Amino acid sequence: MKYGMAITEAARPPASTHRPAATRVALRAAACGVAAVLAASVAAAAGLTKDQAKRMYDRVAGVVAPDATLNSMVGMDPTQAALNIVTKDPAFYNNTIRNLAMPWTSRSQTVFAPLNDYVATVVGMVRDDVPFNTLLSADLLYVADSGSMSAGVPAYSPGNNDMYQALDDLNIDLKAHLVPVTQSSVTGVPAAATAGVITTRAAASAFFINGTNRAMFRFTMMNHLCSDLQTIMDTTRPPDRIRQDVTRSPGGDSSLFLNNCIGCHSGMDPMAQAFAYYNFSNTDPTTAGTTGQIVYTAGQVQPKYFINNTNFPQGYVTPDDHWDNRWRGGVNQLLGWDPNQSGSGQGAKSLGQELAGSQAFANCQVTRVFKYVCFRAPSNAADRSQVATMVASFKASNYSLRQVFADAAVYCMGN
């Protein structure tokens, strides 16, 4: 007996057609995913219900919506409701986007940190539908407007975080009181050397301070291509651009270098060379988060690029900020580099364009938003198909991150 019904021998399928349990589970999961897609499509055609509107608001804006707002969404096209009501709520910027971006601004990747210029710039770009693929290259910064300054917020300073701390302390609405300026007009970094959030004060204080500037490359890959170095290492790339500070025989064993170290450094060092003219200057390292500023020395490589140069004196000596993407060949072609770009250049701006032009960058943003809104990673064929659709929509909307949130909200509002 099965489900209360007997199966006759004539009705029973031949043994050769019986599917393994794992296959049956996979088919059921796929069927559930398809059902979710169909349910979302039916809801989109019929318009939002109040329960769906509430779920969308909770997940995207992160706050309980007023009853009148939910009532106004009933019957609306779900995508339009998400774009024109939910993502226009101040909470979407003050909470959702802030919390999304905050971990990108520190090595600890914590969300529990004061507001800073990096996060404010992400908030402003999302609010204004600035193409998100310029995140790593634009001459752009978001600062407090004159209205918040009248309330006691100090002017922007490249040497401290006081403006953003005051915005936090005074609970200023970021959606209403952030305005765009050029980085080059307030930071002292030339326009050609600005690189979006890479050259914000917060990023510099976290990733350009001390060290060898490789941290900026690693965390940019983690935060914006969703790829840490150990997941993309490739030992087939030539080692000729690996700097002198990397020993070729760690612990006296050259096989460790050939089978491990080279996998990251052969690709990373030629690209991290783009940061050769940058540093973060701070006389008191204990206050790096609140004082100190980015330094750019045009035409002069920072001394940090030559530290520990006796580890392997025959190693590469950095002459300038020219970078090459060696990962356009080998297994990391799978990151989907833009064929319309050359794969090499000078400085951080062109490197930021290279990274943000990749398929991995678009996939990273979309998958992250999917997880945020749907409370899960893409887990079945339907989810993965939806992510691919959202990536296409992201690009078609001129890289509007609000559109990605809307698409995720519509897909996941019923599950």
Which pLDDT score is estimated for 414? 73
Tokens of 285: 């390292």
As a whole number of angstroms, the distance between CA 220 and CA 226 comes to 9
Q: Is residue 226 part of a domain?
A: yes
Helix (H, G, I), strand (E, B) or coil at 11: coil
Instruction: Measure Cα distances from 179 to 290, 292, 361 in Å.
Output: 22, 23, 26
The pair of structure tokens assigned to 76 is 């609306």
Is 408 a member of any domain? no
Q: Parallel, antiparallel, or unpaired for β 344-346 and 178-181?
A: unpaired
Domain that holds residue 101: 97-357
How many structural domains does the chain have?
1
The answer to whether residue 136 is domain-embedded is: yes
pLDDT of 413 reads: 86
Using the structure block, give the residue that is written with the tokens 């893409």. 378
Low-confidence spans in the chain with pLDDT less than 70:
1-46, 283, 285-289, 415
DSSP code for 75: T
As a residue count, the chain comes to 415
**Dihedral sign (CA 341, 343, 345, 350):** positive
Provide the 8-state DSSP code for 364: H
- The SS3 call for residue 139 is coil
Residue 142 DSSP symbol: E
pLDDT score recorded for residue 285: 65
State residue 152's pLDDT score: 95
Distance CA 317, CA 191 (A): 27
| Beta-carbon count within 10 A of 27 CB | 11
319-351 pLDDT, tens digit each:
999 999 999 999 999 999 999 999 999 999 999
Contacts for 207 with CB less than 8 Å, ≥ 6 apart: 107, 213, 215, 216, 219, 220
Residue at 28 is within a domain:
no
Residue 398 counted as domain residue: no
In a domain, 310, yes or no: yes
Q: What is the pLDDT of residue 290?
A: 76
Pairing outcome for strands 141-144 and 178-181: antiparallel
SS3 assignment for 219-274: HHHHHHHCCCHHHHCCCCCCCCCCECCCCCCHHHCHHHHHHHHHHHHHHHHHHHHH
Give per-residue pLDDT as tens, 356-397.
Answer: 999 999 999 999 999 999 999 999 999 999 999 999 999 999
Nearest one of 205, 167, 166, 201 to 187, comparing CA atoms: 201
Global pTM reads: 0.88
E-only strand ranges, 258-412:
278-281, 293-296, 322-324, 344-346
Contact 278, 213 (CB under 8 A): yes
Q: Which residues pair with 293 in a beta bridge?
A: 281
In a domain, 164, yes or no: yes
Task: Give pLDDT, residue 415.
Answer: 65
